[in-house]
Amino acid sequence: MKIRTEQAPEYSEERCQAVTPHYGQCTNKIIPNTQFCTFHGGNAQLAYLERSKMRNYRLRKFQNRMEDFLTSPAIKSLREEIAILRMVLEEKLNQIDDPINLVLQAGPIGNLVLQINQIVSSCHKLELSSSRLLDREAIVQFSTQIVKILSENIQDEIILNKVSSELGELLSRIKPDYSDLINDNELD
């Protein structure tokens, strides 16, 4: 198979920059955006430029995604780690284009999922310890206080029992095991 190339004028900027000992400067036209023709590495240089562009694109994309993940005003370093791992996982999944690639990437993807799970769990524990989330006991105490306040201000026991039951049902929809605790803590 013979590859045809165009010849460039002798002093043209479009002339290949390769120099050979026997013939001097190559007379072929360069591949656009490179300094060489097909025979002297223009394709490789073009591929390198494309990889560089893709790397820069991904870097910008990662930076933008990082900003998306970190929009919360109260960011902690664990949340940043979660954002980074989720971006890496997303990028890995976006690169999979066939079943063989999926099988090849199953191990690294599984490891990323485990790491994300561990960091999310650590972040959750940190938030619980810093009272950013209500734990089970806090929700039960809060509900009991609501019922107590209502019982002090509402004299009708039927309405009070109805409010208490509805509050227990509401909590059971959030966490199924809360309703028993609320009903146990109902005020007489």
Instruction: Please report the pLDDT score of residue 131 as a whole number.
Output: 60
**Could you tell me what percent of the chain has a pLDDT over 70?**
77
Instruction: Please report the pLDDT score of residue 186 as a whole number.
Output: 43
Phi and psi dihedrals of 160, rounded to 5?
Answer: -60, -45
Please check whether residue 30 is in contact with residue 37, taking contact to mean a CB–CB distance below 8 angstroms.
Answer: yes
Please check whether residue 86 is in contact with residue 112, taking contact to mean a CB–CB distance below 8 angstroms.
Answer: no
Instruction: Please report the pLDDT score of residue 91 as a whole number.
Output: 86
Instruction: Please report the pLDDT score of residue 72 as a whole number.
Output: 52
Other CB atoms within 10 Å distance of the CB of residue 137: 9
Q: Which of 17-21, 25-29, 62-66 has the lowest mean pLDDT?
A: 62-66
Is 164 exposed, middle or buried (CB count within 10 Å of its CB: 0-12, 13-18, 19+)? buried
Instruction: Please report the pLDDT score of residue 50 as a whole number.
Output: 86
Say yes or no to pLDDT of 183 above 50: no
Say yes or no to pLDDT of 179 above 50: no
* Per-residue pLDDT reduced to its tens digit, 154-169: 777 888 778 778 877 7
- The confidence band for 176, taking pLDDT boundaries of 50, 70 and 90, is very low
Residue bearing the bigger pLDDT, 67 or 29: 29
Mean residue pLDDT of the chain comes to 76
Domain ranges of the chain: 1-69, 72-133, 136-184
- The confidence band for 7, taking pLDDT boundaries of 50, 70 and 90, is confident
| Cα angle value 162/164/166 (rounded, 5°) | 70
- The confidence band for 101, taking pLDDT boundaries of 50, 70 and 90, is confident
- Mean pLDDT across the stretch 62-84? 66
DSSP state string for the chain: -PPP-PBPPTT-TTB---EETTTEE--BBPPTTSSS-TTTTHHHHHHHHHHHHHHHHHHHHHHHHHHHHT-STT--HHHHHHHHHHHHHHHHHHH--SHHHHHHHHHHHHHHHHHHHHHHHHHHHHHHHTTSS--HHHHHHHHHHHHHHHHHH---HHHHHHHHHHHHHHHHHHSTTHHHHHHHT---
Say yes or no to pLDDT of 12 above 70: yes
Say yes or no to pLDDT of 178 above 50: no
**Could you tell me what percent of the chain has a pLDDT over 90?**
0
